[in-house]
């Protein structure tokens, strides 16, 4: 006796395809929301740090990181930038590489000072708990220009490393002119130094990582 093998009906196949489509749509929408939140977080880093500097300056008449009277201003747990009037301490600049880990670099002390002042959260030990962005790259601020472009000028430069290209372009679009090699926001190679130029918008690849810097 011949056995009859039954298969899926067209209706059943259609239902399965609809379910798969809904699942894929949900996954893609979820990823879109995650990417949107990540881009917003990265952009907020660039908005928050200038606020820290101006709020600290307004309250203490000093620049965080450069504050030679930090212990008197934010507590004895702070590290003064040095002796006032000696060397670069209290000169109104944040000295040192923006991504320095040295306990004596003003660019590292910056984070201790703003945290002890209650402006930012995190470890208040000198050069400890140095901040990272949502992609895990370092964030830092310095008065030393990270690129050579004569038109890229500011008192301070805030940089974020390890930012994927698609987010770098979104950051520039959200807070500047949308062009990654002009304006106050510039995008450079992942390990950009003063000897390397910025990267033009059309040359920024979505899945490559870059260094994004803001002059203010």
Q: What is the residue-level pLDDT of the chain in tens, covering all 216 positions?
A: 555 556 667 777 777 777 776 777 666 655 565 666 777 888 899 999 999 999 999 999 999 999 999 999 999 999 999 999 889 999 999 999 999 989 899 999 999 999 999 999 998 886 667 999 988 999 999 999 988 888 899 999 999 999 999 999 999 999 999 999 999 999 998 765 555 678 888 899 999 999 999 999
Q: Are residues 101 and 152 in the same domain?
A: no
Q: Residue 144: exposed, middle, or buried by beta-carbon count in 10 A (0-12, 13-18, 19+)?
A: middle
Q: Are residues 126 and 49 in the same domain?
A: yes
pTM of the model: 0.82
Q: What's the domain count of the chain?
A: 2
Task: Please state, in angstroms and rounded to a whole number, the distance separating the CA atoms of residues 123 and 111.
Answer: 9
Selection from 119, 127, 118 nearest residue 96 by Cα:
127
Within-domain flag for 38: no
Domain final position from 106, 130, 154 = 130
Within-domain flag for 1: no
Q: Are residues 51 and 85 in the same domain?
A: yes
Residue with tokens 């093998």: 5
Within-domain flag for 65: yes
Ramachandran region of residue 122, left (φ > 0), alpha (ψ -120 to 50) or beta? left
Q: Are residues 57 and 124 in the same domain?
A: yes
Strand arrangement of the beta sheet that strand 157-164 belongs to: 139-142, 157-164, 209-215, 185-189
> What is the domain extent for residue 200?
145-216
Within-domain flag for 31: no
Backbone angles phi, psi at 141, to 5 degrees: -135, 145
Within-domain flag for 207: yes
Q: Residue 132: exposed, middle, or buried by beta-carbon count in 10 A (0-12, 13-18, 19+)?
A: middle
List the alpha helices (DSSP H) in 123-179: 165-175
CB within 8 Å of 192: residues ≥ 6 apart:
146, 147, 210, 211, 213
Within-domain flag for 5: no
Domain final position from 79, 107, 130 = 130
Distances (CA, A) of 125 to 40, 76, 114, 116, 170: 28, 12, 12, 9, 33
Q: Are residues 54 and 78 in the same domain?
A: yes
């Amino acid at each position: 006796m011949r056995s009859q093998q039954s298969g899926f009906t067209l209706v059943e196949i259609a239902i399965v395809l609809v379910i798969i489509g809904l699942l894929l749509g949900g996954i893609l929408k979820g990823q879109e929301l995650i990417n949107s939140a990540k881009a917003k977080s990265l952009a907020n880093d660039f908005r928050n740090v200038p606020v820290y500097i101006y709020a600290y300056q307004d309250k203490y008449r000093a620049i965080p990181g450069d504050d030679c009277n930090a212990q008197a201003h934010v507590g004895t747990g702070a590290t003064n930038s040095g002796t006032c009037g000696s060397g670069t301490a209290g000169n109104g600049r944040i000295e040192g590489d923006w991504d320095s880990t040295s306990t004596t670099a003003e660019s590292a002390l910056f984070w201790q000072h703003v945290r002890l002042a209650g402006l930012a959260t995190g470890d208040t030990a000198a050069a400890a708990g140095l901040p990272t962005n949502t992609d895990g790259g370092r964030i830092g601020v310095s008065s030393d220009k990270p690129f050579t472009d004569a038109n890229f000028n500011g008192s301070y430069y805030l940089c974020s490393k390890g930012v994927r290209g698609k987010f770098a372009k979104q950051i520039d679009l959200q807070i500047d002119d949308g062009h990654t090699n002009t304006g106050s926001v510039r995008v450079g190679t992942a390990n950009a130094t003063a000897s390397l130029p910025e990267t033009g918008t059309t040359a920024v690849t979505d899945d490559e990582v870059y260094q994004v810097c803001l002059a203010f």
